[in-house]
Structure 1
Amino acid sequence: MFKGLSLFLLLISFTAQAETWPGEQWPIGSPISGPAVQALENYAFAPRNDTTRQGIRTDALLVIRDGQIIYERYAGPSTEQTPHLTWSISKSLMAAVLGVAYGEGRFKLDDPALKFYPALEKHPAITLGNLLNWASGLDWQEDYEYAPLKSSVVAMLYTRGHHDMAAFTAEHDAYAAPGQAFRYSSGDSNLLAATLKTMVGPTLYPDYPWTALFDPLGIRHAVWETDASGTFVASSYAYLTARDLARVGLLMARDGRWNDRQVLPRDWLAFSLKPFAAYKAHQDEAVPGGHWWLNLPAGDAASPWPDAPPDTFAALGHWGQALYVIPSEKLVIVRYADDRDGSYRHNQLLKHVLQAVRP
């Protein structure tokens, strides 16, 4: 028995040593070049007009292959030292933070959210798993600047809900039973941030994203805003450099492991990357998992990004923010942007990157 255990530990050690991991800095691999790279740059870094803000406006593009930087370029005001607003990538970051809490035994997916956030007394059947699938059943309207008057998210972030975003969300009525329908909701994400406060307690909570996730991964420049109640704005307001966000991507690409430490439990990863069963084709730009987006067919619809492998998944944010992970290609891609007109296409960028990195 002990010989078998020793062999297993030796294999784990060998695997960790054979992989490339970032220390304080990312290792630099062989840079990609050639016509396919030029085509990628022509797409991602077209001349930008800061007056009209039209077209594709990439601020940062970083490509990691097998743990090494093989492409990196910045534009606009961004540099490799700039903590960029991630918008809704923050939601996937909160999912990763919650994954650590889950591994510490602080909650179960089928726990009622009410157990950790009493303000949900009107909605006792909502579970933490429902919130992670954006399936709370709350009647939430995720409309932005194109429909501000009826927008729940605009009211939450900027007007009557901004002092206590979770409480504002909890006041919404239900339109469906929890777990029965998908409706993308920044409110669901901020309810999760409020439940985390009870899970870990008020003493640990202000530093928990750092002690649980950022510090173990060597992320040194993260900023995460809170609302006036002291709750992290999990929907929107985390800021990371492109290189720091790529560390989260590498963690996800390697099954929640960082060097020889299992930061995220494997069953948490399985839940995060499992498509929500009640999702209907074309409801959103990709298939929802547990606060991540998946490149999988849904109903009679094909994969949302047909030129990328089916194991591709992503964290996505407003105005073109994206963290793509392609485990089969050993790729992590970070794209920060200031897109305003909807002309950017995830599939097109992924296609260009894959053509640039493949022999």
Structure 2
Amino acid sequence: MGNKISDEVYPVNVNRALVQEAVDMLFIEKDPTKLIRTRAVIVVYDGALIAERYGTGYSRSTKFLGWSMTKSIISALVGILVKDNKLNIDTPAPVPEWNNTDDPRHSITIKHLLQQNSGLDFVEDYYSNSDVTQMLFNTGDMAAFAASHALKHKPGTYCYYTSGNTNILSRIIRHTVGEQDYHSFPYRALFHKLGMNNMTMEVDASGFYNNEQILSEEWVKQSATLGGSNLHGEYGYQFWLNTGKENDPSTRRLPDVPTDMFFASGFDGQAVFIIPSKKLVVVRLGLTKTPDEEYGANNFLKTIIDAIS
């Protein structure tokens, strides 16, 4: 985890017992047919580490797979390049396959890719011969494979979550920083500045950390803002949202959690939940097949929020 989070000062207004009870519940296996298999939980409130627990055989030095949580890291790296005036998200994306101005895909922008509304005819279902499984397991150049797909919808008009969009963004980053700097760029530009030696997200202050504006304040705001074509308030710049419909908590992904929450989410229940209004960041890692149903993210976060209120 990032080595700059303090675990020495425990905020006085936190119900410590309730926090620990909520965390411990994620490690109890109540139903052998629906295993939770939580591997790590970290709770950071107002810059202080208030809870940290690992499953048997795991520790803070264990390297976990982030899966699609990495999409949110890609967003941050794009934001850094935008801040440095190396990318413009509102002009046609620099994708060689779409260079021809007569190609309808030429109008796809980086913003469209970030918000998952590129309109590409790419299927994210994980059956044996879907687009995403072909891309992940049978293709040498995943970005080229994704970029080769035709349009199904006009860019910006329809939201559909696909890893193809993110792999195209990753290649854009690679071409922008160059082959020599590509592998070191995330560490130099983001991770090391946050003290993330073993790669866990920390609380964000509008992109400002350790006396440096790593991301622009506007980028952080837009990352957690609903895109125009998104359904039910679900997606920003490669971050999931909890917006829902106004005054209707039942339309939120997590109805008992504030609407300003945004989060990174990955396969098997990996998640980093960021709730600015509560000064709260919660990390949960595991091997849970249907995490929302089995470990109860909504009730877990509600209890943590109750403990700090």
Matched, 1:171 2:148: yes
In 1, Cα distance between equivalents of 2:304 and 2:19: 8
SS at match of 1:350: helix
The equivalent position to 1:149 in structure 2, one of 124, 128, 133, is 128
The equivalent position to 1:246 in structure 2, one of 201, 222, 229, is 201
Aligned-residue RMSD, C-alpha: 2.2
Report if the CA contact (8 A) 2:122-2:149 is conserved.
yes
* Structure 2 partner of 1:119: 97
Q: CA 1:260–1:169 in structure 2 vs 1: closer, same or farther (change >3 Å)?
A: same
Q: How far does residue 66 in structure 1 lie from its aligned partner after superposition?
A: 1.1
* Structure 2 counterpart of 1:156, one-letter code: M
* Structure 2 counterpart of 1:317, one-letter code: G
Q: How far does residue 348 in structure 1 lie from its aligned partner after superposition?
A: 2.1
1:56-98 Cα shifts (integer Å, max 9, x gaps): 2211000001111110000143211112111111000110111
Gap runs ≥5 in structure 2: none
Question: Which stretches of structure 1, 4 residues or longer, exceed 6 Å deviation after superposition?
Answer: none
- Using structure 1 for the length normalisation, give the TM-score: 0.77
Matched, 1:292 2:229: no
SS at match of 2:29: coil
Q: How far does residue 36 in structure 1 lie from its aligned partner after superposition?
A: 5.8
Q: How far does residue 341 in structure 1 lie from its aligned partner after superposition?
A: 3.9
The equivalent position to 1:41 in structure 2, one of 16, 24, 29, is 24
Report if the CA contact (8 A) 1:45-1:56 is conserved.
yes
The equivalent position to 1:214 in structure 2, one of 165, 178, 191, is 191
Q: CA 1:246–1:174 in structure 2 vs 1: closer, same or farther (change >3 Å)?
A: same
- Using structure 2 for the length normalisation, give the TM-score: 0.89
SS at match of 2:170: helix
Q: CA 1:48–1:142 in structure 2 vs 1: closer, same or farther (change >3 Å)?
A: farther
Map 1:256-335 → 2, pairs under 5 A: 256-281=207-232, 287-298=234-245, 302-335=251-284
Q: How many corresponding residue pairs?
A: 297
Report if the CA contact (8 A) 1:166-1:194 is conserved.
yes
| Deviates further, 300-309 or 98-107 | 300-309
Report if the CA contact (8 A) 2:222-2:236 is conserved.
yes
Report if the CA contact (8 A) 2:254-2:298 is conserved.
yes
* Structure 2 partner of 1:70: 50
Map 1:319-358 → 2, pairs under 5 A: 319-342=268-291, 343-358=294-309
Map 1:55-204 → 2, pairs under 5 A: 55-113=35-93, 115=94, 117-121=95-99, 122=103, 123-144=105-126, 148-158=127-137, 160-161=138-139, 163-204=140-181
* Structure 2 counterpart of 1:34, one-letter code: A
* Structure 1 counterpart of 2:153, one-letter code: A
SS at match of 2:288: coil
Q: CA 1:152–1:352 in structure 2 vs 1: closer, same or farther (change >3 Å)?
A: farther
Identity %: 33
In 1, Cα distance between equivalents of 2:193 and 2:75: 16
| Deviates further, 178-187 or 211-220 | 211-220
In 1, Cα distance between equivalents of 2:144 and 2:296: 35
1:211-245 Cα shifts (integer Å, max 9, x gaps): 11011111223xxxxxxxxxxxxxxxxxx3xxxx1
Q: How far does residue 105 in structure 1 lie from its aligned partner after superposition?
A: 0.3
Q: How far does residue 23 in structure 1 lie from its aligned partner after superposition?
A: 5.5
Q: How far does residue 179 in structure 1 lie from its aligned partner after superposition?
A: 0.9
Q: How far does residue 48 in structure 1 lie from its aligned partner after superposition?
A: 7.8
Report if the CA contact (8 A) 1:109-1:127 is conserved.
yes
Report if the CA contact (8 A) 1:320-1:338 is conserved.
yes
Q: CA 1:309–1:213 in structure 2 vs 1: closer, same or farther (change >3 Å)?
A: same
The equivalent position to 1:205 in structure 2, one of 182, 188, 193, is 182
Gap runs ≥5 in structure 1: 1-21, 222-239
Report if the CA contact (8 A) 1:78-1:84 is conserved.
no
